[in-house]
Amino acid sequence: MVAKKISSLDKVLGRLESLDSVNLTNLVQRLARERRLLETVFNTLREGILVIDPHGVIEYANEASSRLIGLKDDDIGNVTLWKLVPDLAKSMETNLEALRPKLPLLLREIEISYPEKRCLRLYIVPFKEVLDDEDDTESEERETAHFAVILHDITAEKLSTEEMIENEKTSSILLLAGGVAHEMGNPLNTINIHLQLIQRQLRKLEESPQAAKIRDAVEVCEGEIGRLDGIINHFLKAIRPSPPDFSDIHLLDLIEEVLGTQADELADRDIQVDVELNRDLPVIIGDRNQLKQVFFNIFRNAMDAMDIGGHLRVRAWSDENSVYLQIADTGSGISRDNLSRVFQPYYTTKKRGHGLGMMIVQRIMRDHGGRVGIESQDGVGTSIFLEFTQKHRRARLLKSADEPNGGGEIGTSG
């Protein structure tokens, strides 16, 4: 049997009934000081600390944990951890007491979207209060079982890993791009020069059926050369984008401009377009041409995915910091297995696609401090979600960059 170390405070609490009013007041003050000290220590930690019962009800939370998972003061003692972090309940039993004999420590990594998108690593450690009477029954020990939950924010770590992988991938593509541009560019130029010479010779010939056929063949070759040149330009633009030239942008005007350039094709395909954007939508800061490329790529994909008579819907809303766009189509959709590949280079479901459009979209949105997401159902349609930082929010973040916490705020904005 292991002997328990009894503190002076334990000794005092053991004879609580014999204390007079003065000593009782001193004891209460001492307990209050120790509680404040412990709360101060826990609240200075960057990691979140929770105490939950076997059913997940949160009985204690420090300030960091409240900030990480959006916990309110009146949630303490009333809300379960499973309600605030639903994905956690999916990966484990919600009755932790059933797991305690099997695992002394539970480790989970999850992604949450509220109060903001974060990646968290959770350590769940069982503990129990030490009973004064070691002859207490097993049921009484079980009633005292609790669990400490340590929340560690690994968002930056995940992003750094993803960026490192993407940078390595982009570097390899960049090496390939130089070779492709050189190897394809020079022959195409040579072919184009010879086609121009053929065109000049054809002008000198009298009109004949044979000359007309040759002229048509030359025009086809010139068209294909132009298409190949476009593929090379798309390729280079995807891996070597120019820095954004920021200015004030009204998204409604920009979207109407892009849809205007595609109006004839939309009408020819009998595609219905519904734009639900308010004129007083907050202003954002962006590169006009690059954002036009974003919308053009998304609208082009939507049109290619839809049959005659499809429906394209554009809607927007905002909160105090961001402006959100949803572009939804009624096209063929994307299977769940292929959804994660949408932003990968060269992935495409189109016969004549180059597979770089959504990679360009993701790169431009990232350079603008925004986000892009996708939802799709095979045979039903696809929705693209874009998030832009509002002008006033971006200006405030840039202004605070020199302040002690400025860099951290900027990191969480996009």
CB 399 within 8 A of CB 410: no
CB 141 within 8 A of CB 160: no
| Per-residue pLDDT at 273 exceeds 90 | yes
Q: What is the pLDDT of residues 212-252, one digit of tens each?
A: 777 777 887 877 787 777 767 766 665 566 788 889 999 99
pLDDT given at position 174: 60
Cα→Cα distances 362→59, 150, 312, 358, Å: 42, 33, 21, 6
The whole-angstrom distance between residue 233's C-alpha and the CA centroid of its chain comes to 28
Other C-beta atoms lying within 10 Å of the C-beta of residue 169: 13
Q: How far apart are CA 300 and CA 294, in angstroms?
A: 10
Q: Where do the H-state alpha helices sit in 306-371?
A: 336-339, 357-367
CB 68 within 8 A of CB 80: no
State the pLDDT confidence band at 383, using cuts at 50, 70 and 90.
very high
pLDDT given at position 324: 92
Q: What is the pLDDT of residues 81-90, one digit of tens each?
A: 888 887 776 6
| Per-residue pLDDT at 52 exceeds 50 | yes
pLDDT given at position 412: 29
* Average of per-residue pLDDT across 319-347: 85
pLDDT given at position 12: 61
Q: How far apart are CA 164 and CA 192, in angstroms?
A: 40
Q: What is the largest CA-CA distance in the chain?
A: 125
| Per-residue pLDDT at 37 exceeds 80 | yes
Mean per-residue pLDDT of the chain: 76
Highest mean pLDDT (candidates 37-41, 51-55, 61-65): 61-65
DSSP annotation string for 142-189: HHTEEEEEEEEE-HHHHHHHHHHHHHHHHHHHHHHHHHHHHHHHHHHH
Q: How far apart are CA 150 and CA 125, in angstroms?
A: 8
Among 3.40.50.720, 3.40.109.10, 3.30.565.10, 3.20.20.70, name the CATH number for the domain at 247-413: 3.30.565.10
* Average of per-residue pLDDT across 254-273: 90
Helix (H, G, I), strand (E, B) or coil at 38: helix
User: Can 20-153 and 247-413 be said to share one CATH topology?
Assistant: no
* Average of per-residue pLDDT across 68-75: 88
Among 1.10.760.10, 3.40.50.2020, 3.40.50.1000, 3.30.450.20, name the CATH number for the domain at 20-153: 3.30.450.20
Q: Tokens standing for 395?
A: 């200006």
Other C-beta atoms lying within 10 Å of the C-beta of residue 412: 12
Where are the chain's structural domains? 20-153, 159-239, 247-413
Q: Tokens standing for 23?
A: 């000593």
Highest mean pLDDT (candidates 119-133, 205-219, 315-329): 315-329
DSSP E strand stretches across 214-348:
247-249, 272-276, 284-286, 311-318, 322-329
